[in-house]
Each structure stands twice: as C-alpha cells, then as structure tokens.
Amino acid sequence: MSKQERDPLTGQLTTGHEWDGIKELRTPIPNWWLITFVVTWVFAIGYLVLYPSFATTKDYARGLLGWSSTKELAEATGRARDQQSAWRTQLLATPLEKIEANEELRRFAMAGGQAAFNENCAGCHGVGAGGQIGQFPSLIDDDWLWGGKVTDIHATIRHGIRDGGDETRLSAMPAFGEILKPEEIAATADFVLSLSDRSRDATRASLPGAALYETNCAACHGAKGEGSRDGGAPRLDDAIWLYGSSREAVIRQVADPKMGQMPAWQSRLDEATIRMLTVYVHTLGGGEK
Amino acid sequence: MATTAVIDTVSQRRPARLPIPQTVRGRYRTIKTAIAWALLAFYFITPWLRWDRGPSLPDQAVLFDLPGRRLFVLGLEFWPQDLPIAVGALVLGAFALFGATALAGRVWCGFTCPQTVWTDLFFTVERFCERLFGKGTLLSRIAKPIAQIALAVLTAFGFAAFFNDAPSLPSALVTGAAPLGAYLAIGILSLTTWLFAAYAKERICLHMCPWPRFQAALLDKDSLVVTYQRWRGEPRGKKKAALRLELNDLTALIREAASFEAGRGDCIDCMRCVNVCPTGVDIRDGLQMGCIGCGLCVDACNEVMAKIERPAGLIRFDVEGSDRAGSLKQEAVRLLRPKTLLYAMLCLFAFGSMAVGITRMESVLLDVEPQRNPPFVQLSDGSVRNDFSFRLAHRLPHLDRVVIRAEGLAGASLRFATGETGQETVALAMPGNRRISDRLFITAAPGQAPSGRASIRVIVTDAESGATLGEVETYFWGPAR
C-alpha cells in the first residue's frame, strides 16, 4: 500500500498512498516555508526565555535579559534629561533677567515652562493662566499682587504665598466685620469702589467712607488705593478685582476677607524648572521689565 | 491504474533569457539609447543646477526642502498646501501615459520607465565588464558586482541630492554631518536599486509591476505594438546557403527546390529576436504581457533580414492583427481617434488647471488665531486685551519688514510677546527663514472694548511698499456689559 513510486507523466514521486487507484503526487511544502516555520519556533522559544513572557502564581517570569518597560521608560527619560542638562546648566548659570534676551534659552525655558505650568499650575490658574475671578489671580494681566518682574515672580513661585515658610509671601487683612459697624463697612466699600473711577477723583473726598478708609485702610492700601507690593496689599484703584467688583463682593471682602494661598514650589520642583516657569509666566503678557 | 491528465505547466515556461541579452544596432536601439541618456542626465545633473534666490534661500534649482516643508523648482516655491497642483501633475502624467499607450503601445515601458532605463544601464555595464575582462573570468566576476554596487550607490546619492544641497552633500556624508534621512535614503535606495536593476531586472516587469496587467484595457486595434508578421514568417526553417555551382548535382537541386516548395517562411529561426530581448520573450508567440515594446527585436530581425536579403519588417511596430493582413508595409497610424482626442483634451485640461493653480498660488500665509483661554484679559487701567497666536510665512522675493494693524476696534494698540510694541500698528522684522510665529496682544483702550464679541480685521502690509500682504477676519472679545 505504501510504496513510493515515480509518476510516469510528471516524473515526480508519489506519496505512496493509493485510494481506488488514485495516487497523490508528493509535493512537500517548500524548504523556505519549512525553515521559516522552524525559525519562528526558535524565535518564540528564545523570546520566552529572554523576555518577560508568562505569569507565575505570585509574580511573572522575568526573562534572562531582565528587560522591563518601566526600566526602559526610566532610561529614556534619563537620556532626555541628559540631553537637556546643558540647557539646564545654562539656565541656572544665567541671571534671571538675562534669560529672555537669549533667544534659544528663552525658547527652551518657554517650552519647559509651559509643560511644567500645565502640570503644576493650571489646576488653579487655568491652562491659559487666566485665573478665576473670586478664586485665583490671572497671570496674564498687568496687575501683580507681589510684583511682576522676573525676580518677583521667581520668589513667589519658590516660596509661595501664606505657605508658612520663612520667606513666604505673607500679608493678612483684618476682618473688619468685627471692628466696624455694617453701615460703616458699606460706606467704606462705596469709597473703595470709587477709587478706580477716574471721573470721581474730585468728588471722592466728600464721600462718607473717605474718613473710614483713611483710618482703617490707607496704611496698607495707600491713600489713593495704589496698594503696596512689598506688603502684599492689592491695588484698589484699578479695574482688576480678584474677589469680584460688585458692591456685595467688596463689602464681603472688607468684612471677612478671603486671602488666597499658594504652595511654595522650591521643595517640589527643581530650580531649573522653577526658572522655566518664571520665564513662561513672565512672557504670558503681563511681565514687567 | 487510471491514466491521469496532467497540465504540464513546467514545459510551457519560457526558457530563461540569456544572462545578458545580446547587443543590437538599429533604429530603436538608437532611440532607446538617446532617451536613456537624456533621462539619466536629467536625474543625475538636475540637483547640481543652481538658481539664485537671494542670500537667505538655497540656490539649488530643484530642491525638496523636507525640514522646511517646501519645494523649490527654479523660480517657484511650493508649500504643502499647494498639493492640489501636484494632483494636477499626476493627472496630467496619467492621461499622457494613457494617450501614449493608445497611440504607440507600451512606449513608456520600452523606453522611459526607470526600471527599463536602469536595467539597460546595468546590462551595458555588465557587458562592458565582460568585454574588458573576458566572459566568466574571475576578474569579471569580481568587477561586475563592484560596478553594480557602485552604480546603485551613485543612483541613491543622485536621489538624496534632490533633498539636500548637492555640492556639499558628499563631504557632509563622509564627515557624518549629513542628516540621518540622507543616510537612510541612500542605504535603502542603494539596496532597492541593486535589487531591482542588478538582481531582479525583467522579473519586476513580469511579476511585480501592475502596469503590464492593464495594458489590455488601454490598447486597441489602432495602437502600435511589436508584431511578428506570421503570414510571411511561417513556417520557420534554416536558411541554407546555395551550393557552389560546380558542386550542384541534379538531386541536390531537386532537394533544394523541393524544400522551398515545402514552403519555408522568412523566419530562419535564428533566435536573434529572443536573444536581444531584455525580458527574454519570444515575440513570435504574439503580443504578450512580457513584451515591453522596446523594439530591440525589430532591430535584430531587420539586421538578419538584410543579411539574408529579404525585405525588412518581419518583426515590426504595427497594429495588432496586421500579422494576418499580408502587407509588407506598416499601416498608417490613425492619430486622430475619439480615444486619443479625449486623452489629449484631458491632458490639456489637467495642464491648464495646473498652470492656473501655479499662477494663483498664495505668496503669503497669514494665520491669526484667537487664544480663547481666557477669551479676554482685563487690565488694571480698564483696558481689555485679547491674545492671538500670530503666524506669518511668505515666499516673496523680497520682504524685510511688515506692519500689522487691526481694523474695527477704535484705539487699539498692538504688541508682540517677544517683539516690538506699537500703538495702532506694530512692525515686525521678517527673519531669513521667512516665517515667524509669536503671540500678538491687541488691547482696546478703556471703555472701547466691545460688549461681547466684535469682528476685527488684522491686516499685514509691507513696510516698504505699503502693499497689503494679507488680512484675517477674527473676533475681539470684551466683558459683557
């Protein structure tokens, strides 16, 4: 039954099997196919041994090469950091005021600053750094509670605001709800609201709140409401009202002031990143020279 | 045991062509050589041509500037958004190809296809090696692959030269200063050139290329193809030289006469037509997919016909079916047919659209995009600022400085984050790379900001000539009152 013979018509060998007189030509799979098949097996076994391949009851087979994607990521980020190290060194060596004058350094700082901003700052100040009225100050306007020069911004980011450290930006406003009577607070608020209205410059002094302001507020906020950045007293004569510009909002702020907080970032971010953030915030539109 | 009918596919297979086809002289060989030289010269010389575009731009006549995303062709500069023009060029190429095929068969395959040109070039070089060192000698066996690889690398370099500054590319490649893409392109193209032109040769046409496959749809009874004039060629027989007269005896004469009477055709089965064929087909089997229509067999056969003093044209360019017509002369080609006229019109249309597209290309690209987070910024003096991302690129021959102004907003002042500050207008120096992107701040004076949204137009003019380069309609937002 199983006798290989040569087919007379084609000259090929038969498989040796015969069914009802029908024979099958022996047409083995091509060698290249067979070899490829074997190679896939060799590859698969090699992969199984060298790389993490299957789970064990408590762990997984780590493979002889000890490769892991986490390690690979760490190496890649390490390489990226190495590539940046020259720029970071230059960033640390350059005086803050001179970083922006260096075109390439500025681009590097702005790219890194934007990434760091979106990661760390956008949560409060917003992705566009527009802040939120009643909550967080805008960083792209020209009003700065603690100064808008690069050195000021740098110090604010490093030490934070009312965050407890030695050098943190610290100011506090008394809650006048416990000091003044409600009608006195309302009169003070009316006077404060008039400070930013240029048309009332001449008549403002006759307002009933003028004397109250002079006694209670002018020491910090200035006689004309010009504020004080050193003391962290906001300007009252401008159009920007962090906690709202309605009469109610101002009365509330006088009676029981909100005072925002910002963490000190020096313990969370490295100095180069803080400098990048500084440059980024400074170039958003409100930076001062 | 039952008998089995076997379709023998093996013996139907053509015998492989000679390792290197024989050379031939003649009309079509001359045309083919001339076209090949012209195309090779175009390919290798074009990147070296110079074109003065001023100091800050590359002076290469044809340059694909991939990092800059632009293409320079003589006085023209193309940007990615000009891609429809490339579509026009492709459509034009396609219809020109169809038209040429309808007229003269596979002239593209036979004369101009890069595969044909490069295969021909490699054949020539391989023949040269054999002539120089002798066929099959050790020297020629060493010289051939060296020549092939050198040609392949040269070809790949020629390609890379279109994408880089050609004169400085060789030294950049040697010193390692060339971009990675240049090395990759040269590596890959060397490999494929060697693979296609030195190793695969006609196998590309026979087994890989789709173009021969739809020939049937493009050829008609009026298209020129290479034909074997069966009516005068068959049956084939050996040409016998006539015996010297004094040696002739009656039986020999009778035998000879009888053999002629038996009816030998003009084809003496010398196989010259097969031996010169770059794809190794036997044209006497009729029109077939393997025939690239190069006409070398026409030259070969005419040579032989001249030697045996028979009229030329046993194999000739003619319309399909002419092998049964019994005419020694080729039929006149009907140039004006509905099909060719249609292709000509379509070509004209594609060319016209391309020409119109090129004349209407925008020279200035202006993009002023509002930054909507936040929509506006309240400033301390009561003015309101809107921030825009501003992008400007141009391909004018000369532009040093532009002036930007905003219309539709009374008392607007403009400023760039890193550039200059202005009142109603702000000027900006255009750098050498002719593109700039910055943050543009537009500020409405106190009380001038719109309540909600207002349409404004940002207009960019040339500081020198005052000509308007571009304007963008956008919005300015103010606090709702």
CATH of the domain at B381: 2.60.40.10
Is the per-residue pLDDT at A231 higher than 60? yes
CA B157 – CA B180 distance, rounded (Å) = 14
Q: Are residues B224 and B310 in the same domain?
A: yes
Q: When comparing pLDDT for A4 and B33, which is higher?
A: B33
Residue-level pLDDT at B174? 93
ipTM: 0.75
pLDDT at B16: 64
Nearest Cβ partner for A285 among B6, B382, B385 = B385
B145 at interface of A, judged by CB pairs closer than 8 A: no
CA nearest neighbour of A24 among A45, A1, A44, A43:
A1
Is B145 domain-assigned? yes
The residue behind tokens 């396609």 is B94
User: Nearest C-alpha of chain B: how many angstroms from A166?
Assistant: 31
Residues B24 and B301 sit within 8 Å (Cβ to Cβ): no
The pLDDT value recorded for residue B242 is 57
- The secondary structure element, H or E, covering residue A265 is none
How many structural domains compose chain B? Answer: 3
Q: Is residue B352 part of a domain?
A: no
Whether residues A106 and B418 touch (CB distance < 8 A) is answered with yes
Range name among A134-143, A148-157, A246-255, B258-267 with the lowest pLDDT average: B258-267
What torsion do the CA atoms of A278, A279, A280, A284 make, to the nearest 10 degrees? 100
Tokens, residue B453: 């949204």
So what's the pLDDT on residue B456?
Answer: 94
3-state secondary structure of B334: coil
Please check whether residues B210 and B256 belong to one and the same domain.
Answer: no
Q: What is the model's pLDDT at position B194?
A: 96
Least-confidence region, from A30-44, A246-260, B223-237 = B223-237
- Residues of chain B in contact with residue A128, where contact means CB-CB under 8 angstroms, are 371-374
pLDDT of residue B260: 55
Q: Token pair of A208, please? A: 């009933």
Q: Which of B4, B382, B387 sits opposite A285 (nearest CB)?
A: B387
Mean predicted confidence (pLDDT) in A174-199:
92
CB contact under 8 A, B446 and A239: yes
**pLDDT at position B13, please?**
45
3 state SS of A51: coil
pLDDT over 70 percentage in chain A? 99
Residues from chain B that touch A235, judged by Cβ atoms under 8 A, are: 380
> Which chain A residues are Cβ-neighbours of B8 within 8 angstroms?
10
pLDDT at A48 over 80: yes
Tell me which residue range forms the domain holding B295. Answer: 220-324
**pLDDT at position B259, please?**
57
A226 touches chain B (CB under 8 A): no
**Shared domain check, B266 and B173:** no
- Residue B94 has what pLDDT? 92
Q: Give yes or no for B379 touching A (CB within 8 A).
A: yes
Instruction: Establish if A140 touches chain B: CB-CB under 8 angstroms.
Output: yes
Domain match, B271 and B155 both:
no
* pLDDT by 10s per residue, chain B, length 481: 333 333 333 334 455 677 889 999 999 999 999 999 999 999 999 999 999 887 778 899 999 999 888 999 998 999 998 998 999 999 999 999 999 988 888 889 999 999 999 999 999 999 999 999 988 889 999 999 999 999 999 999 999 999 999 999 999 999 988 999 999 999 999 999 999 999 998 889 888 998 888 776 788 888 888 999 988 888 787 766 555 666 666 776 666 665 555 567 888 888 999 999 999 889 998 888 889 999 999 999 999 999 988 889 999 999 888 877 777 887 777 888 899 999 999 999 999 999 999 998 888 999 999 988 888 999 888 899 999 999 999 888 888 889 999 999 888 899 888 766 677 888 888 887 788 888 899 999 888 889 999 999 999 999 999 899 999 999 999 988 7
Helix H segments across B5-137? 9-12, 27-45, 83-104, 107, 114-133
Instruction: Output b/e per residue, A251-263; b: 16+ Cβ within 10 A.
Output: bbbbbeeeeeebb
Set of chain A residues whose Cβ sits within 8 Å of the Cβ of B441: 285
Q: Between chains, do B377 and A196 touch, taking CB under 8 Å as contact?
A: no
B263 secondary structure, DSSP code: -
% of residues, chain A, pLDDT over 90: 66
Interior angle at CA B271, CA B266 and CA B277, nearest 5: 115
Residues A87, A81: Cα–Cα separation, whole Å: 10
Ordered by where they begin, the domains of chain A are: 1-67 (no CATH), 69-168+262-282 (1.10.760.10), 176-255 (1.10.760.10)
DSSP 8-state secondary structure symbol assigned to residue A214: H
Query: B164 and B273 in one domain?
Result: no
| Contact state of B382 with A235 under an 8 Å Cβ cutoff | no
Work out the pLDDT band at A162, boundaries 50, 70, 90.
very high
Distance CA B426, CA A53 (A): 63
> What pLDDT, on the 0 to 100 scale, is given for residue B348?
95
Task: Round to whole Å and give the CA distance between B287 and B317.
Answer: 11
Do both B228 and B210 map to the same domain?
no
Q: Which residue of B has its CA nearest to A139?
A: B377
One DSSP character per residue, A88-141 reads HHHHHHS-GGGTTTSHHHHHHHHHHHHHHHHHHTHHHH-TTS--BTTTB--SSS
pLDDT, residue B9, reads 37
Please check whether residues B297 and B194 belong to one and the same domain.
no
